[in-house]
């Protein structure tokens, strides 16, 4: 898959992404790192259509806890009251499901300790990551952990209708277009999506549409919002504004202002090098 969502970038951010082993890329979009402490402002997390395993590490890189974050349909804030290194494993829509023994129903908009759902997996991940002294070694450990599990994935892949849903996302505007090529009935498609992703097909479409709009705003913060309303099939400008506010907590104008400030700072930084 080549779907690459955009995350929210704050004015001061040490967020970074690393590509997984090529054999894992049909399932895992990226690994990501972030460092926060009690002085760090809350991080704005926006929907990206992905599910994450999030490993909380001490500054010495000891594993503190592993959480599973289901796909989100609205923004939320993340913060920590102690120095914490976060290592995330970001899965494509449906990409995490093959590695689990249970349904993803009920995981939408949820953050749950992994041990409560998959105790053995949480123990094994902790063992594989313990004793690592660098982020590079952590990445090698995560790659090995999931490569070992590819051996028993032969009968459990990302379902073809879900793959097609994502792969066709650049070419469709309406929800009807996004489901027209499915070989399943509407009812079967609904059941498949909720089982493997935790989302309904429309919720997945809604986040995909948001990501396309958000990426257009990043590319050109001076773009006409009315053009985006028409291009992406919103009912009207009020509908567009409500969706953007739900996904980011901000109005479209505030998003553009934030993006413009970041671009100005990046330009000034490049000019002064």
Both 205 and 112 in a single domain? no
Both 75 and 145 in a single domain? yes
Last residue of a domain, one of 119, 152, 185: 152
End-to-end CA distance of the chain: 36
Which two tokens mark 273?
């090098």
Which two tokens mark 151?
């051996």
The answer to whether residue 223 sits within a structural domain is: yes
Phi, psi of 55 (to 5 degrees): -95, 120
The answer to whether residue 9 sits within a structural domain is: no
pLDDT classification of 13: cutoffs 50, 70, 90: low
pLDDT classification of 151: cutoffs 50, 70, 90: confident
Both 57 and 87 in a single domain? yes
Both 22 and 127 in a single domain? yes
pLDDT classification of 264: cutoffs 50, 70, 90: low
Both 82 and 118 in a single domain? yes
Q: Round the CA-based radius of gyration of the chain to a whole number and report it.
A: 19
In this prediction, residue 114 carries a pLDDT of 97
Nearest-angstrom CA–CA distance, 175 and 140: 39
The answer to whether residue 31 sits within a structural domain is: yes
CATH number of the domain enclosing 221: 1.10.10.60
| Structural domain count of the chain | 2
36 closest CA partner among 88, 74, 111 = 88
Q: Given a cut of 60, is residue 269 above it in pLDDT?
A: no
The answer to whether residue 51 sits within a structural domain is: yes
Both 141 and 196 in a single domain? no
197 closest CA partner among 247, 159, 149 = 159
Both 52 and 113 in a single domain? yes
Burial class (CB in 10 A: 0-12, 13-18, 19+), 252: buried
For the entire predicted model, the pTM comes to: 0.89
The answer to whether residue 165 sits within a structural domain is: no
Q: Given a cut of 80, is residue 267 above it in pLDDT?
A: no
Residues 54, 57, 60: CA angle, nearest 5 degrees: 160
Lowest mean pLDDT among 148-152, 188-192, 223-227: 148-152
Q: Given a cut of 80, is residue 179 above it in pLDDT?
A: no
The answer to whether residue 245 sits within a structural domain is: yes
Nearest-angstrom CA–CA distance, 219 and 262: 12
Q: Given a cut of 90, is residue 137 above it in pLDDT?
A: yes
Both 104 and 192 in a single domain? no
pLDDT classification of 266: cutoffs 50, 70, 90: low
Both 201 and 253 in a single domain? yes
Q: Given a cut of 90, is residue 12 above it in pLDDT?
A: no
In this prediction, residue 170 carries a pLDDT of 75
Both 23 and 145 in a single domain? yes
Beta bridge partners of 55: 66, 87
Both 20 and 147 in a single domain? yes
57-111 pLDDT per residue, tens: 999 999 999 999 999 999 999 888 889 999 999 999 999 998 888 889 999 999 9
The answer to whether residue 166 sits within a structural domain is: no
pLDDT classification of 154: cutoffs 50, 70, 90: low
Q: Given a cut of 70, is residue 180 above it in pLDDT?
A: yes
Nearest-angstrom CA–CA distance, 206 and 128: 37
Percent pLDDT > 70 in the chain is 93
Range of 179's domain?
A: 173-271
The answer to whether residue 167 sits within a structural domain is: no
Both 22 and 147 in a single domain? yes
DSSP state string for the chain: ----PPPP--SS---EEE---GGGTTTEEEEEEEEE-TTSPPEEE---S-EEEEEEE-TT--EEEEEEEPPPSS-EEE--SS-EEEEEEEEPTTTSGGG-SS--TT-TT-EEEHHHH-HHHHHHHHHHHTT--SHHHHHHHHHHHHHHHGGG-TT----HHHHHHHHTGGG--SHHHHHTT-SS-HHHHHHHHHHHTSS-HHHHHHHHHHHHHHHHHHH-TTS-HHHHHHHTT-SSHHHHHHHHHHHHSS-HHHHHHHHHHHHHHHHHHHHT-
Q: Given a cut of 90, is residue 25 above it in pLDDT?
A: yes
Last residue of a domain, one of 152, 185, 203: 152
């Amino acid at each position: 898959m080549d779907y690459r969502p955009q995350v929210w970038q704050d004015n001061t951010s040490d967020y970074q992404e690393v590509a997984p082993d090529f054999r894992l890329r049909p399932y895992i979009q990226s690994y990501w790192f972030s460092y926060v402490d009690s002085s760090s402002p809350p991080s704005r997390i926006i929907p990206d259509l992905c599910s994450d395993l999030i490993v909380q590490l001490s500054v010495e890189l000891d594993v503190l806890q592993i959480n599973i974050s289901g796909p989100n349909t609205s923004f939320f804030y993340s913060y920590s009251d102690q120095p914490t290194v976060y290592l995330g494993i970001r899965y494509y829509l449906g990409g995490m499901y093959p590695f689990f023994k249970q349904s993803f129903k009920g995981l939408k908009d949820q953050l749950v300790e992994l041990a409560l759902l998959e105790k053995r997996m949480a123990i094994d991940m902790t063992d594989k990551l313990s004793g690592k002294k660098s982020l590079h070694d952590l990445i090698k450990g995560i790659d090995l952990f999931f490569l070992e599990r590819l051996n028993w994935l032969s009968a459990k892949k990302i379902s073809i209708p879900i793959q097609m849903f994502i792969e066709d996302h650049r070419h469709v505007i309406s929800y009807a277009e996004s489901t027209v090529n499915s070989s399943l009935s509407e009812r079967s498609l609904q059941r498949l999506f909720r089982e493997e992703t935790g989302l309904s097909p429309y919720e997945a479409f809604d986040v995909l549409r948001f990501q396309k709009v958000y990426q257009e705003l990043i590319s050109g913060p001076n773009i006409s919002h009315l053009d985006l309303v028409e291009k992406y099939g919103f009912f009207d400008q009020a509908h567009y504004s409500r969706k953007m506010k739900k996904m980011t907590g901000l109005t479209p104008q505030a998003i553009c202002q934030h993006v413009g400030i970041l671009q100005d700072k990046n330009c000034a930084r490049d000019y002064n090098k």
